[in-house]
Amino acid sequence: MQCKDFAAVLEQEGLDPLPLAARSHLAGCSACQNLFADFSVMVSSARKLPAEVDPPERLWVSLRAQMAAEGLIKPSAPAPAEEAAWWQGLSTLFRPRVLVSAGLGLALAVAAFLTIHKTSTYVASNSSAPQVGHVPPPAEPATTPPSAPTAVAPAPVPQVTAHVKSRSNPAAAPSRNFKPAPTADLYEGTPAGLQDPPNVVGTSVEAYASLRENLRVINEVIAECQKHLKKHPNDALAREYLASAYQQKAQLVAAILDSGRSEQ
Partner 1 sequence: MIPHLEINDRTVLSAVGTAILFCVAASAMAAPPDHKEQHFAVKGRPTVVLQNIVDGRIEVKCSKNQEVVVVSTSSPEKVAIDLEQVGDRIDISATGLLNSAQPHEVEADFILTVPEETELQLKTQTGLIYVEQVNGDMQLESVAGDVNLKEVSGYIIVKTTGGSLKCTQCAGKLDFASIGGSAQVLQSSLMRINLMTTTGNLLYDGEFVRTGIYTMKSTKGSVEVRFSPTDSLDVDARSSTGTVDNQAADFLRPDAHGPHHSRSRGNSFFGTVGQGLAKVELSSYSGTIRILKRP
Cα separation, 44 vs 128, whole angstroms: 94
Minimum CB–partner distance for residue 47 and partner 1 (Å): 13
Minimum CB–partner distance for residue 20 and partner 1 (Å): 23
Minimum CB–partner distance for residue 263 and partner 1 (Å): 14
DSSP string, 127-176: TTS--GGGPPPPSSTTTS-TTS--SS--THHHHHHHHHHHHH-GGGS-GG
Q: Which is nearer to partner 1, 142 or 217 (CB)?
A: 217
Minimum CB–partner distance for residue 162 and partner 1 (Å): 43
- Number of other residues whose CB lies within 10 A of the CB of residue 147: 9
CB 160 within 8 A of CB 194: no
Angle, CA 252 vertex, CA 246 and CA 254 arms, to 5°: 105
Helices 156-168 and 81-125: crossing angle, nearest 10°?
90
- Binding region for partner 1 (CB under 8 A): 31, 34-35, 37-38, 41, 45, 197, 199-207, 209-211, 213-214, 217-218, 221, 224-225, 228, 235, 237-238, 241, 244-245, 248, 252, 255
Q: Which is nearer to partner 1, 57 or 206 (CB)?
A: 206
Q: Which is nearer to partner 1, 77 or 201 (CB)?
A: 201
Q: Which is nearer to partner 1, 83 or 206 (CB)?
A: 206
